[in-house]
Amino acid sequence: MTRRWGLRLVVIAYLGGLLLAPVGLVFYRTFQHGFSEFWDSITTPAAIHAFQLTIELALIAVPLNAIFGVAMALALVRGKWRGKPLMEAIIDLPFAVSPVIIGLAMLLVFGRQGWIHLPFQVIFALPGMALATVFVSLPFVVGEVAPVLHEIGDEQEQAASTLGATRWQTFRRITLPSIRWGLAYGITLSVARAVGEFGAVSVVSGHIAGKTDTLTLLVQSRYENFDVKGAYAASALLAVLALGTLFVMTLTRREDT
């Protein structure tokens, strides 16, 4: 019995000390001087712009990754082609590679002396940041949808097509409904990553205040300029977004099982 309590105490103390206490403290620090101060801090022109930019990047990256993630998962699970195991390993790479390296890679490909030259500015501008965000959130939808596709098998899809359904009809009526929870979970993870991305975007953005600062970059620049309160406020805003995401994650996970 005492051993059981020992384990409980250790686990609760660990989670409390590592997760709950720090996050709680940031909220406390943010709101200890009242809500209006927090509100002023997140409604400065720079903060509003950063918020808009963060949402914009997520709106670009997440739909792209949802569509191509599903297509990729279908190709990986249903398709038969050479190099599939290699492909699966490649898909996982953005998970394991440091975001700084991803940012550096973008810089080398699209930068001034890069491999690819486009007629518009990519690096230190929105397109580059969008590309970096797409890159880092690439594996989530594939990773969540592929196992579900595996599990449901393709019998229903075959049945549908023998009954004369077109490929698009089969996908829309059979495949999509059965992968919807996996897809929802993958999209939620993508949103969290896209909103919270820091390393890759930080390399690519060039930190132009009021222009290419996202919320996460704003947190850093405020902290480094000794505006600790402002950094806490922006952090609290991001943490609220994260808690919302977490809530959706638990919901979609529960429906899944």
Stretch 186-225 residues interacting with another protein (CB under 8 A): 189, 192, 195-199, 202-203, 215-216, 219-220, 223-224
Positions in 48-77 near another protein (CB under 8 A) = 68, 72
Q: Is 221 helix (H, G, I), strand (E, B) or coil?
A: helix
> How many Cβ atoms are within 10 Å of 91's Cβ, its own excluded?
18
**Shortest approach of another protein to residue 181 CB, angstroms?**
16
Positions in 221-250 near another protein (CB under 8 A) = 223-224, 231-232, 235, 238-239, 242-243, 245-246, 249-250
Measured distance CA(103)–CA(16) in Å, rounded: 34
**Under the criterion CB under 8 A, does residue 79 sit at the interface with another protein?**
no
**Shortest approach of another protein to residue 182 CB, angstroms?**
15
**Under the criterion CB under 8 A, does residue 14 sit at the interface with another protein?**
yes
Binding mask 90-119 for another protein (x = CB under 8 A): xxxxxxxxxxxxxxxxxxxx----xx----
Between 174 and 241, CB nearer to another protein: 241
Phi-psi sector, 19: left (phi>0), alpha (psi -120 to 50), beta: alpha
Which residue among 26, 126, 152, 165 contacts another protein (CB under 8 A)?
26
Q: Hey, what amino acid is at 2?
A: T
Residue 164 near residue 67 (C-beta atoms within 8 A): no
Measured distance CA(73)–CA(145) in Å, rounded: 6
Could you say which DSSP state residue 17 is in?
I
For the packed helices 138-152 and 45-78, what is the interaxial angle rounded to 10 degrees? Answer: 30
Positions in 137-176 near another protein (CB under 8 A) = 138
Provide the residue count of the chain.
257
Positions in 30-49 near another protein (CB under 8 A) = none
